Each structure stands twice: as structure tokens, then as C-alpha cells.
Chain A
Amino acid sequence: MNIIVCIKQVPDAKDVRLDPKTNTLSREGVQSIMNPYDQHAVEEAVRIRESLGGEVTVLTMGPPQAEAVLRQAISCGADHGVLVSDRAFAGADTWATSYTLARAIATLGSFELVLCGKQAIDGDTAQVGPGLAMRLDMPFVTCIQKVREASETGMVVERMMDDGYDVIKVTYPVLLTVVKDLNEPRVPSLKGTMKAKKAVIKTLTAADIKAESALIGLSGSPTKVVKVFPPEPRGERCMLTGTVDEQVEQLVVKLRPYLP
């Protein structure tokens, strides 16, 4: 089984804070982490390899320092790490990103299974996985919460829906995006950490993947950011005071418009 997992380095949301005075984003002390959903994708890929054999390649598009998440994935069991990095990719929206990843995957070879996290927590779009599947001409299923069976020829998976779940049978090649219910990612072993340190990360540039310059980065992105601004501040908070009975009384008055 040849498996490729697309991962992303993102700023850790728990470090991102709004400065209440200026209502602007404070970046101080923000750490970069592997996108949480992607950790579950890596874990599942490693589990499938453990049962069916094969190799797990992790792929990321990003600046040179994004190499860190590739090493992290290797420490958790992935075999190879590939960094797609080029100044020309900067400013890519999801359309240009899925094009770039598809070109990189085509350059690397053929894969039976492509795994992605459901979405990245910085952009929250959930668009790259489906877009990538289209470009690879693979069927895809999003939001996998459980793998019921994985065999040499295909899988039976549960996909999370808003009103429950669907049970779906797929045959390879297929692209799946995953949610966190899927598994519990392992902690890197000592051996894994050593392997990650020594691993040689392959780097691919725009030229290496034969990307058309009109389709990458900012100019290859159909969408354009017009404006970025802080959300409207919420009104003044009101801490109720008095005994519990008094507070409850005040609250019910405030909630009157909502009461049945």
C-alpha cells in the first residue's frame, strides 16, 4: 500500500489571542504545530501500513520551517517526508494549493490512498481535500470518523454527517479526509524521534513539480482577500451580582425575549 498524507503547519490557535484593548490579533508567543486533524490522518496511515504493509509518505506545502511537521510525522511512524516549497507558492488559495499538491503527488509517483485532515485550523475551509481529489481524478469521502475495514483492495468507512453517519465502501485509489474521532494519535517513540532527526527531507520546487506558473501562488488563486479586520467586539459583559436567587432573578429578566 502506497499512502500519502497531506499535512500542514499552522499557528497554534490556543496561543492566538485578541488584545481586548485594541481588538487586534496578538501573535506573541504563538507556536507552530501540525494541524490537529492531520495528526489523525498520519496515525491512520501508519496503522494501515502496519496491517497491510507499504509505505507512508507525508507531504506538506509551506515555508522551509514547515519541515518540522514532516519530522514530527516521521517520529510518529511515517516513512518519508516531502516539502513542497517555493516563494512562488505564496498567497495560494485553496484552488492553487490543491493544484500544487496534485502536481507534487504526480511527481512523487502513484498512491492508492491519499489522506488529509478535514480542514486546517487556521483557514478552516475544508476545501483542499476535495479539490485535490478532483485534480487527481480520485473518488473522495470527507470527514471519516471510523475505518471499519481496510484491505488490499479497498475500505469500508464511516463518514460523519450533520444528522448521523453514512457507511461507505470505497476501492482504491481514493482520497479521504478525517476527523478527530477516527483514532488517538500515538506519542512518538524514542526510536521514532531518532529516525525523524536523521531523516532526509526531500524538497520540491515549482520547477521540480512542473507547475504552471499561472496556476500557483497569488496569481493562480481565483479568490482575492479584499480586507482583513478584527470581528466586531461583543458588548460589555455583565457579571450579575447578589445571592444566587438574586442573580437568577436578574438573568431571567434579561432572557425574557428568549423564553418560550
Chain B
Amino acid sequence: MLQIDKDLCIGCGICESQCAFGGIQVADGTARVGDSCTLCGACVDACEVGALSITGTEKSMQMNLADWSGVWVYCEFRRGELAQVSLELLGIGRKLADVRRVPLSAVLMGHETGDAAEKLIGHGADTVYRVEDSALALFTDDMYGAVMTALILKHRPEIVLAGATAIGRSFIPGVATRLHTGLTADCTKLEIRSDDGALLQTRPAFGGNIMATIECPSTRPQMATVRPRVMKALEFDTLRTGRIVDVAPPADQLRSRIEVIESVASEGAKVNIQESDILVSGGRGLDSERGFVLIEELAKALNADVSASRAAVDAGWISYPHQVGQTGKTVAPKLYIACGISGAIQHVAGMQSADTIVAINRDRNAPIFDVADFGIVGDLYEVIPKLIAKIEEHRGS
């Protein structure tokens, strides 16, 4: 329950303005809780006089936390390749494991994984649990979930991380549900609290408009999916050594109730824009499909990939896997160049974590300029060719 100390409350209204759900209102000089309170705690942190508190936070589930030790990373392997995010997770996993003074293990599932296990060791894993089976060649939630759940129950790691990819975001929630433990989606920061060794998981919510730090106080493992391109992979070190443990799951784990008939790598989706360093993105301001020819030329000059706003996708100029924003993908490249994108909040939600944002737009008042580090007001069809020429010139020099 959200408790309001009426003696302390001065009716200033800060809590009301902080609540995204309309769950608290000031009336007759004091704050009142409404039905839509989600107990998120935003008002508690914001209250300057300490009048608000949340009670009843004691968790009803309790596990013996000391039974769980070690950091695990689920390493995604698909179409013969490791996902880049898996190596990034080994990077942060290594740090967390070193702080906790525990080993770092990787879980590799798939078919014909080749030297992927060795690669994971070179990137930081102490142990690789390798589950090789032809049944795992194609992803299904139930098989991957059953194998992962069984491995976790057997070895009891304190932390389990996975990439916030289509696959990670799909089967990991089922695993957490089965294990009766918490899961935090789409984390952008992970750290160990020094007092008690708890994993603090920070993630954006509300399309990136607020950040929340979350912990999993009384159950294990502490589980998180982590956005691609946020954590740094360690350089591959040929001298690193580790152990590969081959796991043969029992037949019942390798039975699926769904049947994957076909797995199609679509054109354009060969590039996963969530893994791109630089994105050149086009929007409604391109006026027509031919605008993307120009966008592609600029992308080529920058060794970048192409993305788009919802307006461009809805217009049919480019396919949905390229869409950035709330109903598309969330990206965090080093450089994001928004061309002819007005910057609706739904779009900004998907790209505001980019290191550097450039906006090119003919409308001086477009909201995209509010989030841009550098803005050019002008006609795309004039600016972009000149920009390409300048970049080529720079490359030549």
C-alpha cells in the first residue's frame, strides 16, 4: 500500500505530476491515492518532505539465497552464428562475476555449433554448457525453455542474463515463471550492490521517459534480458582457458508442441538494425520511395545500415524490420542520422539512447531537433548529396 503521512504532506502536488498513471491526486491540501496506483514508487522518490511510503513490500516467496552461486549468460546461436549480444553479455557477465568472485558460465544451445564454445571462452566464459542436438537447430520456446530451466535448476546460478532479442525476450520469461523468480526486461545497466551482492537492474520504461532500477530480493536466480549494443564485449583472448561441458538433455526436453515448418531470413532483415553501429534513418519527409535510394547512398558512405520511422514503413517505402520506435525496434547505435523524421515521441522512444543523434529536417520546429546533438534545417535532397560528397572527400584525404 502507498501510505501518505498527512502530517508531513504539504499538498505541493509534486507526486501528482510525477505519477504516470494518475494514481495520486492532491485534494483539499493533501495527497490521496487512487485506484490506478501501481505502487511504482515514482512519487515516493519525488516527495520532498518524505510524506510517502510503500508498505507491504515484504516478499512472500523466500529461497535460501546462499544455495545459488555464479553468473550465467545464455548465448544465442542461430543460422550458424553467435549473436553479437551474447559476447557483450559475457563482457558484463565477467565484470559481475569478478565482483562476486564467482565463475562465469555460458549456455550454448543449437546444432552444429562448431567452434562457438571456444569463442565464448575467448570472450570471457570460464565454463560453457554446450547443448548440441539437431532438435535445437530451429528455435522453439518449449524446447529451449525446458533445457534452460533444467540446467538452471541443476547448477543454481545466482544470476542469469540473456539478450533482449526476439528469442531471448520470448523464452526467458517462461523460464523465469517456471523457476518462480523475477525477470527484468531490456536492461541497460547492471551492477552489484556492494552491501549484499544483489544485482541492480536498470531499465527504461515508458518509451525511455523514465528509468527504473529493479532488484529481485528474495528469489534466485536474478534474471535479466539486456539490450543489444549497450554492454561491451571483451576482446577475444586466445590465451584464455575454460571448460566445455557437453550436455545431452533427456528426450522429453527435446519435444515441442509446436512445429517450425520453415525459417525465412528475409531480405533487408539480414541486417539487424539493433546491432548496427551507425544508422541512417528515413521518414515521411523523404516524400517518396526514391528517398531511400539517397538514404542508402549515405549509409554506404558511412558503412551504416538503413532504418526508418513508422511513417515510412506504413507508406510501404521500406519493410517493417527496419522500423525504429515504440511499435518497431529500439536501437542504440553510436550514431543515428534522422532524415526527414519529425520526431514523434513513439519514434524518439526507439532511438534516444543513441550516442550521437543528427537530425536533418526542413521544418525548423520539428521535435526531432529537441533530441538531436546536431541539427541541419534544410531540404534533404540538397543536404544529403552534399553530405555524401563531403564524406567521400574526407575519406580521400
Residues of A near any B CB (own CB < 8 A): 11, 13-14, 16-18, 20, 24-28, 30, 32, 36-37, 62-65, 87, 90-91, 93-95, 98, 121-131, 133-135, 139-143, 145, 156, 160-171, 174, 179-181, 213-215, 217-231, 234-235, 237-240, 244-245, 247-252, 254-256, 258-260
Contacts and interface: CB of A to CB of B under 8 A. Distances in A.
In the complex, the 6 A-B pairs of residues with the closest C-beta atoms, listed nearest first = A91-B39, A222-B182, A63-B35, A214-B60, A223-B182, A139-B257
Interface in B56-78: 56-61, 78
A163 B83 CA distance: 11
Given A13-B346, A163-B270, A226-B213, A259 B391 contact: yes
Given A125-B186, A164-B264, 18 more contacts: A24-B17, A63-B36, A65-B36, A90-B37, A93-B182, A127-B173, A131-B176, A139-B142, A160-B166, A164-B265, A167-B262, A167-B264, A224-B59, A228-B41, A239-B377, A240-B374, A248-B387, A254-B373
Contacts of B37: 90
Contacts of A222: 59, 61, 180-182, 216, 218-219
A134 to B, nearest CB: 4
B375 interface: yes
B15 to A, nearest CB: 11
B112 to A, nearest CB: 17
Nearest to B267: A164
A231 B269 contact: no
B82 interface: no
A98 B20 contact: no
Contact of B206 (A25, A62, A249): A25
Contacts of A20: 370
A139 B258 contact: yes
A13 B349 contact: yes
Contacts of A63: 34-36
Interface of B: 1, 16-22, 34-42, 45-46, 54, 56-61, 78-79, 138-139, 141-142, 165-167, 169-171, 173-174, 176-178, 180-186, 200, 204-219, 256-266, 269-270, 272, 274, 277-278, 302-303, 320-321, 326-327, 334-335, 344-346, 349, 352, 356-358, 369-378, 382-383, 386-387, 390-391, 394-395
Given A224-B214, A259-B391, A234 B180 contact: no
A213 B176 CA distance: 20
Given A180-B327, A251-B387, A231 B208 contact: yes
A13 B345 contact: yes
23 contacts: A25-B17, A25-B20, A27-B18, A93-B182, A94-B185, A95-B176, A129-B173, A160-B166, A161-B269, A164-B265, A165-B263, A166-B262, A167-B262, A167-B263, A169-B259, A214-B61, A219-B57, A220-B61, A222-B216, A228-B211, A230-B209, A254-B374, A256-B394
Nearest to A66: B36
A229 B210 contact: yes
B335 A255 contact: yes
Nearest to B375: A239
Nearest to A245: B386
Given A167-B261, A223-B182, A244 B386 contact: yes
B209 A168 contact: no
Nearest to B357: A234
A118 B16 CA distance: 30
B200 A226 contact: yes
A162 B260 contact: no
A142 B141 contact: yes
A156 B387 contact: no
Contact of B266 (A165, A224, A251): A165
Contacts of A251: 358, 374, 376, 387, 390
A227 B269 contact: no
A241 B141 CA distance: 53
Contacts of A17: 209, 345
A37 to B, nearest CB: 8
A229 B206 CA distance: 12
Contacts of B167: 161-162
B173 A94 contact: yes
A122 B39 CA distance: 14
Contacts of B178: 134
Nearest to A169: B259
